[in-house]
Amino acid sequence: MASNKIHLHIENTRKKASIYHITQERWDAACKHHRGLAGRLHVTIGWDGDILEDALKTADILVGVPARRDSLAGRAPRLRWIHSTSAGVDGFLPFDWLPPGVVFTNNRGAHGVKAEQYMRMAYTMLHTRMPQIIANQRARRWEQLFSPSIVGRTALVIGLGDLGGAAARAAKQLGLKVIGVRRTVRKSRWADAVHPYSRLDKLLPKADFVVLAAPLTAETRNLLGRERLRLMKQTAGLINISRAPVADYAALAGKLRRGELAGAILDVVDPEPLPAGSPLWDAPNLVITPHISCDDGEHYVGISLDLWFENLGRFLQNKPLRQRVDPRRGY
């Protein structure tokens, strides 16, 4: 390896869906859009740890978080930056394994366009009572379920990051009023009002749609528990595009079976894949999508690498990296 080149090691995991694999072909395609930056790199691509230990000895940057993270400071003495190709980093918590001085970034920004499209679908499906219509079709039952216009309804979006912002934009496009909830109260272009988590109990009864888009942290785990689910209107719908443990799914299924909630769409479950024996499968008025709401099935790697190359430019200029994760907050 030329001494003036930065060693980038890309670590892939075969058990992940192929849309996430950074193959040599996909890497070469991305480099065509960033020739100058790519020319500064010496790149190795590994799979499931096959060349990881040798690569770590000289790696300056790691894309893809290795399964084994202990003693990383000793195993990777030159490491300065780790980038995760997913937005959620709860699977890497706590960050006590992260070597001092190593920056950790995630893939925020790669999901917004697809998430926005999914959310338009989800709002519309719940509002038009599509889960019940699908159930009626399977039962060969003709029942005319009419719905009013969606315009003017209220979406309560919990979390206003990349995914929450997409949920808010989709709501506005449909003519909804948007109330945002986030840890730090800051104005959002797409929300009519923004409140802290402490206001959640007051806001839930006002919502026609409750959207979970917050990262999974100690603060947000079971954020929408049994008691808060009881605060939702009987006519409201729930959409979760964040992480399953943010809500109490057992309590949610109970409410759906008792007719105390109009419907729900869940893109995240725990565990994944969802076991065949899970009671969620046959909960009424529930649609489960297999964690596909936010990732572009054709261009995910290309989108991700374009964002990463932008950050590489900042890295080479010693500028603060974007999409940086705060190890103390966990996002």
> Which of the residues are catalytic?
243, 272, 291
CB distance 165 to 116 below 8 Å: no
Question: What token pair was written down for 112?
Answer: 């917004």
- Identify the CA nearest to 308 among candidates 42, 119, 131, 82: 82
Which whole-number Å values give the CA distances from 214 to 20, 81, 88, 94, 255, in the listed order? 22, 25, 10, 18, 22
Phi, psi of 328, rounded to the nearest 5 degrees:
-75, -40
Neighbours of 307 (CB within 10 A): 18
Question: What token pair was written down for 33?
Answer: 């859009």
Burial class (CB in 10 A: 0-12, 13-18, 19+), 272: exposed
How far apart, in whole angstroms, are the C-alpha atoms of residue 302 and residue 31?
Answer: 10
Length of the chain as a residue count: 331
Which residues lie below 8 Å from residue 99, measured CB to CB, with a gap of 6+?
Answer: 72, 73, 76, 79
Q: Edge-to-edge, what's the strand order for the sheet holding 209-212?
A: 193-195, 177-181, 154-158, 209-212, 237-240, 263-266, 286-288
How far apart, in whole angstroms, are the C-alpha atoms of residue 330 and residue 14?
Answer: 26
Which residues lie below 8 Å from residue 240, measured CB to CB, with a gap of 6+?
Answer: 211, 212, 246, 247, 264, 265, 266, 267, 268
